[in-house]
Structure 1
Amino acid sequence: MTTRWPPPGQRFLIDVLLIGLASADVVLNGIDGGYSTRAMTLAIMAVAVLAVRRRFPYLVFAATIPALVVGSAVVAALVALYTVAEQRASRVHIYGCAAVVFVCYTSVWETPYSNASRLLDIVYAILFTGAPLLLGLLMRARAELSAKLVEIDRAHRHEQELIVDKALARERTNLSREMHDVVSHQVSLIAVQAGALQVTAPDEETARTARTIRKLSVQTLDELRDMVGVLRAAGGHPEALDPPPSIDDVDALVANSGVAIDISTDVDPAVTLPAAVQRAIYRVVQEGLTNIAKHAPGAHATLELGVTIQRVQVTLTNNAPNRTPERLPSDRYGLLGLRERADLLGGSLSSGRLADGGYRLSLHIPLAG
């Protein structure tokens, strides 16, 4: 494991500083001691190899030992020992390098002037060897601790995401249960009542209306079942779901709406619409027909659908109602959802009343060609 502390800019400054200190040590010792050419060559080599001390710490350490033996470069060997302790994990190798520095610094093969001088050399060797060794180990421990903290932080964020996902899954389950218990019950009652009315209808028009209501109720139950399946899947892949509505389902949607409507289509057969665009077309027509049935009963409508290689244009227009509409609950979220869907596709949705009391709903989606 190679440490990554400090950052690259600081590492460069530290390298320059350490090489400068080693160079100053060589120059000052050379001035005072008058080293031979061989000793000076070893010292210059020991300083030069410090430039690659992080890539080859053991080789750099070995290259600085000869200069340490002859006493021409001490700082270079200490820097090399610090690098080994910082960059390498093997404690055996680290302590072996420290022992080499200790032995070479004390020059155990030379006869001391006195026992006191030998003891003083040992003390100095312990200090000069222990300082870079402990500093290198400290820097390595700091780098490993920083890496552990980053890993712990990443694991904590992942755990938080799992907690949020679990909470969302629980809310999806609760929501699906409420949808099934409330909406499904009410729509099922509508379907049952419509079926009973279809059987006991006094005339054909009433029976046809009841049949339409029952068919729409059954379709609503199917869509509700798919929605409950998606919610319970909690982000998974629900099984046995009906395919999403497409442009081919618009005719059946219009036929089952109970709205008197004229359809005008101009669709380029060479254009293949994305699934999201087809769903947007279907939902716009569905919402428009629902609003006509709720707010403009008896009105006549016109649906214009145009698809070219450049754009998709859907326009649903109705005239004024011929009877007073019933007051039905409305949350106005239908048009808001359609406008958001159009925005996601890079298009636009416009709606508004006409001068004759009618209403127009229009969807425009540009295509990439």
Structure 2
Amino acid sequence: MRLSWWDGKRWVVAFDILVAAGLTVLPFLEDKGPTLKWTSVLVSVVVFGGFLVRRRFPLVAVAVTPVAMAFPSLQIMVAAYTVASRKGLRWQAWVSAVYCSVIVVVWPVPRASYSWPEAVGACVLFVGAPLLLGLWVYQRRALLQALRDRADQAERERDLRAERVVVAERRRIAREMHDVVAHRVSAIALQSGALTMTAPDEHTEQVAEVIRRTSTTALTELREILQVLRDEQPGEPGHVAPALSAVPVLVDDARATGLEVKLTMPDPVPEPAPAVGRAAYRVVQEALTNAAKHAPGQAVNVAITADADELTVEITNPRAGTEQTHPRSDREGVPGAGFGLVGMRERVLLAGGVLEVGWVGDRFRVRVVLPVKVAE
């Protein structure tokens, strides 16, 4: 027998054992109970087994009630209740009701003291009342199960609606980015390409070529991001997410724009979890962008260290105007909205890391500590 016969609960097994044992031993406790013989032991074993499996096979408990060695009042009540509570208003309940009623009526008792009104009363007491109670329990259990199913279905429908709203919002954002950002970046790429062909001197041509390459790369990355936004399962398209190994390429691109960057990385480059690699890459990217905007012409130091547990990324640059390493370092920085640091902090938190941003002496420092391994 399996534990699932008792609804998968051990206390139910213990309860049924006690009930079966009590119904089996009860006749022996009466004053004129049966004597303990091998036949009575055999009958007791049959009654005990029938009531032990009554939840799985309720009709078996009904069938063994006539072999009880005394008037089977409690046995009939338990059997009738069990069938009704397990099967509901089905043929098993009607068959057991008739069967138990017949047992109550034809059980050998002194006929002089057992009239038909008394027989009807006994059927109502020993069969009808337990049967009605069992049917009520069955209907209540079915109602609770229906309410649970309805709640689960409502929760699934709510999740589906939320998912559809998210997909629609992602597609709307993709359309807005394509219509506004992509158009303007395309215009920059076209104008810088035209300036490259008609530049009056070599320096202007080099600057225009750097602008053209940067805007073209931005367009490529923007198309990949738009593809991810339009797809219902993010991450499935052929978009290659930035990783820690791509930081040298990012630094080279920054140097091509005229920014002086010193990069220090371990050799070989560690391979952290993808989420950690993406977060580190985006932190370096945002820090270099902020340095180019707010401290143009200043030397930027990018230091990446790693051990078995943590990956540390530190980007520092001096205040604007403290070092004159660029011929145009006296220009004003580009104003920013402050969303870059917010996005940086969100990425680091999602990767399970810690972000520190602020001035240390006369240098602005961005320091990130990330776990090497993190759940995706």
The TM-score, its normalising length taken from structure 2, stands at: 0.78
Superimposed CA distance per residue, residues 198-219 of structure 1 (whole angstroms, 9 cap, x where no aligned partner): 2222221221111111111111
The correspondence of residues 145-294 of structure 1 with structure 2, limited to 5 A, is: 145-236=143-234, 238-241=236-239, 243-257=240-254, 258-269=257-268, 271-294=270-293
For 2:25 and 2:259, the matched residues in 1 are separated by 98
Matched residue SS, 1:144: helix
For 1:267 and 1:117, the matched residues in 2 are separated by 101
Equivalent position of 2:301 in the other structure: 302
Matched residue SS, 1:364: strand
Matched residue SS, 2:242: coil
Q: Does residue 337 of the first structure (1) align with residue 343 of the second (2)?
A: yes
Do the aligned residues in 2 keep the contact of 1:3 with 1:86 (CA within 8 Å)? no
Bigger mean CA offset, 10-19 vs 232-241: 10-19
Q: Among the aligned pairs, what percent are the same residue?
A: 34
Bigger mean CA offset, 48-57 vs 207-216: 48-57
Letter paired with 1:85 = A
The correspondence of residues 33-112 of structure 1 with structure 2, limited to 5 A, is: 34=32, 37=35, 50=51, 52-67=53-68, 72-88=71-87, 91-107=90-106
The correspondence of residues 6-45 of structure 1 with structure 2, limited to 5 A, is: 30-31=30-31, 34=32, 37=35
Matched residue SS, 2:365: strand
Matched residue SS, 1:256: helix
**Shift in Å, 1:100:** 1.8
Q: Given the superposition, is the C-alpha separation of residues 14 and 329 from structure 1 closer, same or farther in structure 2, using an over 3 Å criterion?
A: farther
For 1:231 and 1:270, the matched residues in 2 are separated by 30
For 1:170 and 1:3, the matched residues in 2 are separated by 48
Do the aligned residues in 1 keep the contact of 2:245 with 2:269 (CA within 8 Å)? no
Do the aligned residues in 1 keep the contact of 2:97 with 2:131 (CA within 8 Å)? yes
Letter paired with 1:102 = S
Equivalent position of 2:334 in the other structure: 328
Superimposed CA distance per residue, residues 18-54 of structure 1 (whole angstroms, 9 cap, x where no aligned partner): 987x6998589x45xx456489959977985645533
Equivalent position of 2:129 in the other structure: 131
Superimposed CA distance per residue, residues 126-170 of structure 1 (whole angstroms, 9 cap, x where no aligned partner): 553222222222212221221121111111110111111111111
Matched residue SS, 1:201: coil
Do the aligned residues in 1 keep the contact of 2:241 with 2:278 (CA within 8 Å)? yes
Equivalent position of 2:366 in the other structure: 361
For 1:117 and 1:364, the matched residues in 2 are separated by 90
Matched residue SS, 1:164: helix
Do the aligned residues in 2 keep the contact of 1:342 with 1:363 (CA within 8 Å)? yes
Q: Given the superposition, is the C-alpha separation of residues 316 and 271 from structure 1 closer, same or farther in structure 2, using an over 3 Å criterion?
A: closer
Do the aligned residues in 1 keep the contact of 2:353 with 2:368 (CA within 8 Å)? yes
**Shift in Å, 1:63:** 2.5
Do the aligned residues in 2 keep the contact of 1:268 with 1:309 (CA within 8 Å)? no
For 2:350 and 2:90, the matched residues in 1 are separated by 59
For 2:360 and 2:115, the matched residues in 1 are separated by 110
Q: Given the superposition, is the C-alpha separation of residues 63 and 207 from structure 1 closer, same or farther in structure 2, using an over 3 Å criterion?
A: same
Letter paired with 1:360 = R
What is the count of residue pairs matched by the alignment? 358
Q: Given the superposition, is the C-alpha separation of residues 133 and 190 from structure 1 closer, same or farther in structure 2, using an over 3 Å criterion?
A: same
Q: Given the superposition, is the C-alpha separation of residues 193 and 90 from structure 1 closer, same or farther in structure 2, using an over 3 Å criterion?
A: same
Letter paired with 1:210 = A
For 1:160 and 1:199, the matched residues in 2 are separated by 57
**Shift in Å, 1:223:** 1.7
**Shift in Å, 1:89:** 5.6
Matched residue SS, 2:303: strand
**Shift in Å, 1:227:** 1.6
**Shift in Å, 1:252:** 2.8
Do the aligned residues in 1 keep the contact of 2:28 with 2:34 (CA within 8 Å)? no
Unaligned runs of 5+ in 1: none
Matched residue SS, 1:245: coil
For 1:167 and 1:342, the matched residues in 2 are separated by 27
